[in-house]
Amino acid sequence: MQFIDWVIIILYFLFSLLIGLYFSRRASGSTENFFLSGRKMTWWLAGLSMVATTFAADTPLAVTELVGQSGIAGNWLWWNMLIGGMLTVFFFSRLWRRAEILTDVEFIEFRYSGKAAAVLRGFKAVYLGVFMNTIIMGWVNLAMIKILTGMFPEYVNAENAILFVGACMLLTAFYSALSGLWGVAVTDAFQFILAMAGCIILAVIVVNSQQIGGLDGLQAKLPDWALRFTPQIGAESEPGVGGILAMTVSTFLAFIAIQWWASWYPGAEPGGGGYVAQRMMSAKDEKNSLFATLFFQVAHYCIRPWPWIIVGLCAIVLYPDLSHSDKGLGYVKAMNEFLPAGLKGLLLAAFFAAYMSTIATHLNWGTSYFINDLYRRFIEKDKPEKHYVLISRIATIVFMFLSVIVTTQMKTISGVWSFVIECGAGLGLVLILRWFWWRVNALSEIVATLTPFVVYGILYFGKFDVKFPETLYIIVPVTTAAWIVTAYLTSPTSTETLKKFYTKVHPGGPGWRKISQQMPEVTPDSGYPKLVVSWIAGIVLVYSFLFGIGNLLFGGTGTSVVLFGIGLASAFVIKKNFDKSLI
């Protein structure tokens, strides 16, 4: 690191802080301003904020690790989530904005009634806003520690790294507490552009280095399995050995046919939720909410991964001796080895940007649950808005310190991904159907939340020889049967609550016929066949451009032209369906 590198990093921190200070007054008026930017956010800003949040410090390292272990096809472990993401775009983004609630946890008492709804709302406020949120931030902190120790081994080590990360987090918490979602979103946009610019520059420099020799040289030096875009179905790869991602038929079907709708996972909740729902609810109107979510899916899957994939492929050639579990470190090694003075500071600032955008969102989002769905709902109900904004700012700082404490207790994040998916298996169907079927009640969602933990515990402690993702074939049916039986054996949500919900959201469809027949004055949504067509077209659009870009990079020009043509045709279908019946 040279003097110019440090200047760039200092300027980055200063600019991020100035954005937070600039938007501090907008956040002060009410909790709606603090947590939802007064519901005035444009689609492009909300969409950029979503993409920036999912671009954490660990993301390039994770993609590099997947590519190093299983080639480009290794990314199907997260590319499969697009199917559920597109479902959110066309079926749920408008509904979230129309509901006009502050958090997705508040939805529980908006949709359900009785003590069970209150208990579920309070539980989720603590479970998601405090417990799960601090664990996710601890996960992101661990990745930033890995980057800092890799970049500055002479200054940063395992013992003092938490101090550097804590200082960065304190600055993030400070501007988040000042500016609320307005400052977080605008800073996200700036940070995302900076982070992507840094990653693209690194990819260009590394692939054109003398050791690689451009994209043609890279292809010549790589094994065939590394450049395959799709996994090998019908086989299993040998653990710990590099090669094409191989899946049995049952594993492939579990990912493609079950996981995207059945399992809850932070940032990829079926039906939308978490910070994605927060951005949808902050949009200016339903149209901006839909466009924001569509832009997020396109940028998240099509645009963002390729600079990381290229560096990951180069790392296979440059660092063949890295162990199977340390393949992600190839990204940090490439930064250290190939970036000159100035650019090294720029890329490190880019990593700080990726880190801080994720942390800022999680601090604001987690605080929204704690304030709106616990403190305001159960502790202090009738205080002035300025009181809740003040407590929100204090809670933001407190959550920052909690996440630092959690980070000091975390040693590894291996297995967390599959554990979270398994313990949310079956819940996803409730999160989808509660919008479209009046009979779903609070006890149904409680049962759907708890049953996967019970079944997972039986499978794990009972030493059954079933591993993820095949466990989904057991957990999902049991959970689904349990919550449906519960729905029919317990009292439904009160008619008064159902009518208020239907009047406000009017989702339409056969699942609401019992209520809609009592309320002929309410005009329900229609055009669901067009929504299904748009959903399928959206999936085709993203995958076409994703693989079109890949083929263009690696010499498949003819294939890329065909894929881009299919993608444009899909975009035309979506645009044609953007009529008044859909928005």
- How far apart, in whole angstroms, are the C-alpha atoms of residue 223 and residue 178? 51
CA angle 43/47/50 to nearest 5° reads: 145
Average pLDDT, integer, range 125-142: 87
Q: What pLDDT was estimated at residue 242? A: 65
Give Rg (Cα) of the chain.
24
pLDDT of amino acid 235: 66
Torsion of the alpha carbons at 541, 543, 546 and 552, rounded to the nearest 10: -90
Query: For the ranges 26-30, 370-374, 449-453, which has the lowest average pLDDT?
Result: 26-30
DSSP 153-211: TTT--TTTHHHHHHHHHHHHHHHHHHHHHHHHHHHHHHHHHHHHHHHHHHHHHHHTSTT
563 — pLDDT class (breaks 50, 70, 90): very high
φ/ψ of 232, rounded to 5, equals -90, 115
The answer to whether residue 350 sits within a structural domain is no
Considering its fold, how many domains does the chain have in total? Answer: 1
Give yes or no for a contact between 512 and 436, defined as CB atoms under 8 angstroms apart.
yes
pLDDT at residue 580 above 60?
no
In a domain, 348, yes or no: no
Bigger pLDDT: 339 vs 57: 339
Q: Is 555 contained in some domain?
A: no
CA distance 290 to 209: 42
215-227: average pLDDT: 93
Q: Is residue 323 part of a domain?
A: no
- pLDDT at residue 140 in the model: 85
Decide if 379 is inside a domain. no
Q: What is the mean pLDDT of residues 369-384?
A: 93
Place of tokens 């095949």: 470
**Confidence bin at 102 (pLDDT 50/70/90):** very high
In a domain, 422, yes or no: yes
Q: Is 469 part of a structural domain of the chain?
A: yes
Give the residue numbers spanning the domain of 446.
415-493
- Whether residue 31 contacts residue 373, with contact meaning beta carbons closer than 8 Å, is answered with no
What pLDDT score was predicted for residue 419? Answer: 76
Q: Which long-range contacts (CB under 8 A, 24 or more apart) does 213-219 make?
A: 215/553, 215/554, 215/555, 216/555, 218/310, 218/313, 218/314, 218/317, 219/554, 219/555
Banded model confidence at residue 155, pLDDT cuts 50, 70, 90? confident
pTM above 0.85, yes or no: yes
Q: What is the mean pLDDT of the chain?
A: 89
What are the tens digits of pLDDT across the range 281-334? Answer: 999 999 999 999 999 999 999 989 999 999 999 999 999 988 877 888 899 899
Distances (CA, A) of 508 to 24, 27, 435: 40, 35, 9
- When mean pLDDT is compared across 22-31, 298-307, 463-472, 489-498, the lowest value belongs to 22-31
pLDDT of residue 56: 80
* Bridging pattern class, strands 246-247 and 232-233: parallel
Asked if pLDDT for residue 346 goes beyond 70, the answer is yes
Where residue 464 falls among pLDDT bands split at 50, 70, 90? confident
Give the pLDDT confidence of 229-274 residue by residue, as tens digits: 988 887 665 555 567 777 888 888 888 889 889 988 777 888 888 8
Asked if residue 363 is part of any domain, the answer here is no
pLDDT at position 361 over 60: yes
